[in-house]
């Protein structure tokens, strides 16, 4: 088991992605715990009334704009007619479990990101921005760790959740008692050494392996079957392979899907190749077998409303 660094900076910029159309995004500050928290709301164009909402959580050391540049999710939202809200973590790190808490700026207490995200959702529902029956969450890397906390403690408010390129921390599993089982999409690269696919020990935490994380949720769901599909290579020079695993015969028909990226590193799969800068970061290879943003929304869109 590899030892994990206490802090790993994540950058997932994708130069060369299609330019987003000009739009009136709402960048705002939201007061919570005596701190003005930053978020961006990307509203689908030409919609009337509340729309499906995806809460998108960035990675460690990133900003809202870093995540927005890293994939094509806003373009998918424009085409499909849903909104995306991007909350921003204080100091670039989510306070997702008690043993990994972030201090408030005044040093008097710890950041309550679970409460912040819940309060922000309350505001968007009160403003009739979001459809309360179609609220979803997706997190990337450190944002996926925050998403796991939402799966455990906010399952009654979510119609679906995606955790990308990170398993759970053991402490999260110990404290996880969801009111119901939210439909779950997981994606991870088998060669990811940043949020290690095989798990590992940090200074005061243990990162569960991705298979261990999936088994934790399979047991909760009581799934007894599984189907598997391998995707053909999208690019001839792509050494990775994308395998889609779906668990079946689960209680309450709550789906659990896993995209296993064989040979993939700490990147979101995309049809766009790594830039030279990203190659120098040594986060491993990026699969070109699927476009992550498309697969996340396809999973959410196929789900029944909560």
Residue 15: per-residue pLDDT: 34
Question: For the chain, which residues make up each domain, given as ranges?
Answer: 2-301
Residue 146: per-residue pLDDT: 98
Query: Tens of pLDDT along 270-301?
Result: 987 666 656 655 677 788 899 999 999 999 99
Segment 53-70 mean pLDDT = 93
The answer to whether 157 and 120 are in contact (CB under 8 A) is: no
Residue 277: per-residue pLDDT: 54
Query: Tens of pLDDT along 8-34?
Result: 333 333 333 333 333 469 999 999 999
pTM of the model: 0.90
Segment 111-121 mean pLDDT = 97
pLDDT of residue 2 exceeding 80, the answer is: no
Lowest model confidence (mean pLDDT) among 164-173, 176-185, 285-294: 285-294
Query: Which 3-state string (H, E, C) describes the chain?
Result: CEECCCCCCCCCCCCCCCCCCCCCCEEEEEEECCEEEEEEEECCCCCCCCEEEEEEECCCCCCHHHHHHHCCHHHHHHHHCCEEEEECCHHHCCCCCHHHCCECCCCCCECCHHHHHHHHHHHHHHCCCEEEEEEEEEEECHHHHHHHHHHHHCHHHCCEEEEECCCCEHHHHHCCCCCCCCCEEEEEECCCCCCCCCCEECCCCEECCHHHHHHHHHHHHCCCEEEEEECCCCCCCCCCEEEEEEEECCHHHCCEEEEEEECCCCCCCCCCCCCHHHHHHCCCCCCCCCCHHHHHHHHHHCCCCC
Fold of the domain spanning 2-301: Rossmann fold (3.40.50)
Segment 54-59 mean pLDDT = 98
Segment 143-160 mean pLDDT = 98
Work out the pLDDT band at 107, boundaries 50, 70, 90: confident
Residue 44: per-residue pLDDT: 86
Query: Tens of pLDDT along 187-200?
Result: 999 999 999 999 99
């Amino acid at each position: 088991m590899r030892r994990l660094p206490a802090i790993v900076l994540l950058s997932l910029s994708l130069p060369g992605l299609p330019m987003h159309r000009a739009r009136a995004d709402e960048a705002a500050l939201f007061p919570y715990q005596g701190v003005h928290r930053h978020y961006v709301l990307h509203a689908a164009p030409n919609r009337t009334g509340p729309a499906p909402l995806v809460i998108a959580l960035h990675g460690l050391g990133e900003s809202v704009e870093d995540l927005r540049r890293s994939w094509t999710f806003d373009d998918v939202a424009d085409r499909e007619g849903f909104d995306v809200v991007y909350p921003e973590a204080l100091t670039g790190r989510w306070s997702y479990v008690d043993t990994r808490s972030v201090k408030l700026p005044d040093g008097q207490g710890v950041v309550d990101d679970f409460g912040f995200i819940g309060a922000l959702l309350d505001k968007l529902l009160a403003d009739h921005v979001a459809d309360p029956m179609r609220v979803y969450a997706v997190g990337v890397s450190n944002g996926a760790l925050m998403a796991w906390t939402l799966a455990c403690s906010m399952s009654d408010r979510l119609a679906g959740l995606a955790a990308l390129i990170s398993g759970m921390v053991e402490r999260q599993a110990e404290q996880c008692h969801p009111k119901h089982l939210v439909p779950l999409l997981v994606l991870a690269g088998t060669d990811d050494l940043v949020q290690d696919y095989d798990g590992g020990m940090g200074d005061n935490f243990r990162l569960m392996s991705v298979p261990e994380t999936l088994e934790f949720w399979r047991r909760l769901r009581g799934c007894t079957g599984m189907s598997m599909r391998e995707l053909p290579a999208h690019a001839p020079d792509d050494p990775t392979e994308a395998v889609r695993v779906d668990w079946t015969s689960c209680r309450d028909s709550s789906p659990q899907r896993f995209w296993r990226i064989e040979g993939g590193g700490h990147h979101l799969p995309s049809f766009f190749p790594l830039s030279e800068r990203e190659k120098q970061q040594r986060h491993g290879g990026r699969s070109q077998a699927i476009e992550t943003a498309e697969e996340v929304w396809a999973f959410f869109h196929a789900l029944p409303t909560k």
